[in-house]
Chain A
Amino acid sequence: MELPLLHLALVGTPNSGKTSLFNALTGSRQKVANYPGVTVERKEGFFVTPQGRQVSVVDLPGTYSLRGRSPDEEITRDFVLGKASGETVPDLVLCVADSTNLRLTIRLLLELKRTGRPMVLVLNMFDIAARRGITVDVERLAKELGLPVVTSIAVRKGGTADLLKLTDEISAKLAAEAEANSWRALSVAELRATQREADRIIADCVSLPARPDTWTARIDAVVLHPVGGLLVLTLILFVMFQAVFAWAQPAMDVLKSGFDALGELVQATLPDGLLQSFLQNGVISGVGSVIVFLPQIILIFLFILLLEDFGYMARAAFLMDRIMGGAGLHGRAFIPLLSSFACAIPGIMATRVIDNKRDRLTTILIAPLMTCSARIPVYTLIISAFIPAKDVWGFINLQGLVMFGLYAAGIASALAVSFLIKFFMLRDYAPAPFMLELPDYKMPRLKSIVIGIYTRAKMFLVRAGTTIFSMMVLIWFLASFPQPPVGATEPAIDFSLAAMIGKALEPLLAPVGFNWQIAVALIPGMAAREVAVAALGTVYAIEGGKEAAEQIGQVLATKWSLATALSMLAWYIFAPQCASTLAVIRRETGSWTWMAVTFAYMLVLAYAASLLTYNVAVALGAG
């Protein structure tokens, strides 16, 4: 007989390894990192138990209670209580605990018991507990709690075998067990009572050696030092941005010459004509010019992944809390903002951990000002074309320094905007509390880093192959048609639709020093920032005709003034050139207004910044 699907839910305090367990059970690759609040969405996956039972398992955001104080915690509460619309209540709740730190989970578990759902306590991270000399009397704990207890090591192969076996045993006799839900929000006295009860149970069943993680203490002595800690943080960010520029170069050169060779091959083998132009100008000069930046994107992700896995993110939030508070930002905003260096979309999603609505909204509004990885191609292209690659003070690469400056400008303007929001809009603002668990450091796991990078690189390439490619086809078409009349002497592109559109927009952008080619590139650049690079590549390649085997960077160096280049950099610090980010803002704030506000304020800032930059640069003789 085919048994019905068994529904499991993973519930537990933040950072206890729920997602790791989910990945281990289902073979998924959901994001895992060493700080509280990584998962902010509900994710379902499937697996089959050793005895062949079909199981659905849902990974949920971590929470300390079922009160649901922030949007992510509400997701967990609603799912466990069966409030989420169209959802079945889980048949079995797996309460996942960090075995080195049972107090808060056992309290949560005592609260969860009131929901009446059948439950299992999973003592995860049992390897770390064993290493620290923590011993748990599993049988006694199960008896005290009145439910099955099983140990697990989510990140080790076979580390979930016991859990799988138990799932089979339990699923056989489940139906009888479910009880009525008697949960309601706990009073302070009840909370206290559950914590007392939890502490009593732990005292009875767990022996803790007086040996905290000495490594964590040693590292924190430096990393959380009031002054030293901030220096370390600055140094980390500085090295990160320098590295993006300096270390990625060799790999980028290889890719670049690869695309050059490909272009030459196309030119040599295909007859002149539309197909040759499409492949050479549209695909290779366009999409190729974006793919070249893959090494830089991988590097920035590598840095962020390492910091996340190591356990540094929560520390950085601690260091920055009061400093960001001066600008009206909450300490919890730091992690979403730092992830926005990779991409604003997960950054904006991550703001779900911020419980105060205003703090969350401010963070969402400024997250797109953080220099995301899609700006890297634009910045790099212009910097390498216009900024000499010399060293300053002997060891700092000038190009890297400019890059760092652009990141700094993004951060500074984000803080300034947040300050203005606090000052003008939210005057009666009372700072919401900052409370954050600082997890023990963990050695970053090679496998999870590799998977993380692989997923991100794949996303980038898929985007290059879809969004960017389709934009390129459009631009190539606009820039190639209509074809010039026979006997025309001007470059063919002057007769095209692209030139018409660009020239119509030119008067609007002339004050900031943009020519019509840039105007054409900015419009498809709304879909994604990198598209602008590809679009410039295509437009200039078509304009240059067959001789233009040159790299787009070299073309820009001859066609643009320094003032135009700087103005373009200033534009990209602010411009809202990303449709997906705007869509996520709309979804997360639940309002078109905030999306429109973001778009408008960024556009105004971009124009103003470019106007200023261009005119100052021209006045200084860079026109």
Chain B
Amino acid sequence: MVKKREIAVSVNGARYAIEVRINDTLLDVLRDGLGLTGTKEGCAAGDCGACTVLLGGKAVNACLVLAVEADGAGVMTVEGLAQGEELDPVQQGFVQEGAVQCGFCTPGMLMSAKGLLRENPCPTETEVRRAIAGNLCRCTGYVRIVRAIMSASASAVSGHDLRGER
């Protein structure tokens, strides 16, 4: 018998008291327990970033966090970005720039972008690239993703040249 624990977590602003197996990952519980299947599993080894969520406001790989470790913490997943019908600026940026192809990497990319912009609203292109270094995309070649994140940032608003910087 696998031991279970009750944990209290806030996910996308909603509070939950849920029973989890001690060896469930946060990713398992988000997807299978709470039905939040936006967060993806690619590698289960920290390499691909498809499982990226914000834990306590910081981008982390949900495949490397035990659900019991999240007890008492706040989690934000891709489902928490939009406010009703209104997309988050990072989502808006991805739509505008056509930064989505198959879409498997997109939730993780969006959360890495969100994590970056929370701390650094006005990043350079180099900083954007560093922020998504742990997110693999097999389709887009990253150029449009970088543009999308730049366009969602305050760098765009302040007239920063999106295409010029190397």
A binds B: no
Chain B interface residues toward A at CB < 8 A: none
